[in-house]
Amino acid sequence: MKTILFPTDFSNNALHASQYAGMLARRYDAKVILLNIYEMTVPVVSEFQMTYDTDNMIVQRGKDAEQNLQFFTDKFIINTNLPPEQISQMVEYGLVSDVIIDISKKMNVDLIVMGTKGASNTIDRWLGTNAENVMEAAQCPVWIVPENTLLTLPQTIMYAADFKEDEVTATYKVLSMAQPLGATCKVIHIHDYFELNVEQTVEQTVAELKDEFQNFDISFKNLNREEIVKGLETYIEKHKPDVLALAVYEKSFFSKLFNSHITQHFIQEAKLPMLFFKK
């Protein structure tokens, strides 16, 4: 891992999440790009006046963003003790999620870390639906950090696998994130009672995974529950992992639930950091 991208809106929550990103950067020995994206609300005026005012406002907003990002960076350095040469700053104008994706590709970023607010029923206002958009479009993993997440290195990363597509490659991706942190991996698969004729297939998949990863610090668990999300909630409440990892792709069951059960419970209530990655 070489580069971590951290988008910030300069809020207290962003400052907290940036410390988590700094903690990861230290362990991964990665550089951190601190990114601020600003947009404009155009007033209702004449066409000529609007063009003139908008251009000036964009320039001024850019200058303000650069100054605020420098203040934020100074606090980030103090809080994380990362050397300045390990940190870079970027200020961009545009739509938040589009800019994050564009910069992540242009800079060949290895990980995006984003903070969220757990106090409300939705993701942080500045992020809005951007966290979901970034999660679905990013080619690199996206690490979501809820408000008040403990600033300690994860000891256990739990991957909730749906056993669709290539789980061997997916599990190796989780391991690649966990091993530099010294974290243990747990792979759990939950299927509901209404899935017919899957038990034998699931048992075979578990056996293949155990054989493939027998020399790694990783465990596998298969559960049959009445409701998948509720079963996952119960398992997390009991075993208390430090991070929940989910694979994202077009047909992913968990991707469809991002804005409902999973976001509400795991991010807001359990304040559980979540790691999203592409299979």
pTM over 0.95? The answer is: no
Q: What is the C-alpha separation between 106 and 86, in angstroms, rounded?
A: 18
Residue 180, token pair as written in the block: 């530099």
**Residue 201, beta-bridge partner list:** none
The alpha carbon torsion through 11, 106, 149, 268 (nearest 10 deg) reads: 80
Locate the domains of the chain by residue range: 3-145, 156-273
The CATH superfamily assigned to 156-273 is HUPs (3.40.50.620)
Do the first three CATH levels of 3-145 and 156-273 match, i.e. the same topology?
Answer: yes
Concatenated DSSP letters of 7-18: E--S-HHHHHHH
DSSP-derived letter for residue 268 is: I
Q: What is the CATH number of domain 3-145?
A: 3.40.50.620
pLDDT digit string (tens) for the chain, length 279 residues: 899 999 998 988 899 999 999 999 999 999 999 999 987 655 544 454 555 566 677 788 888 899 999 999 999 999 999 999 999 999 999 988 899 999 999 999 999 999 876 444 334 444 445 666 787 788 999 998 988 788 999 999 999 998 887 899 999 999 999 999 999 999 998 876 555 566 778 888 999 999 999 999 999 988 877 677 777 888 888 889 999 998 877 655 555 554 445 555 555 555 789 898 987
Q: What is the C-alpha separation between 197 and 205, in angstroms, rounded?
A: 14
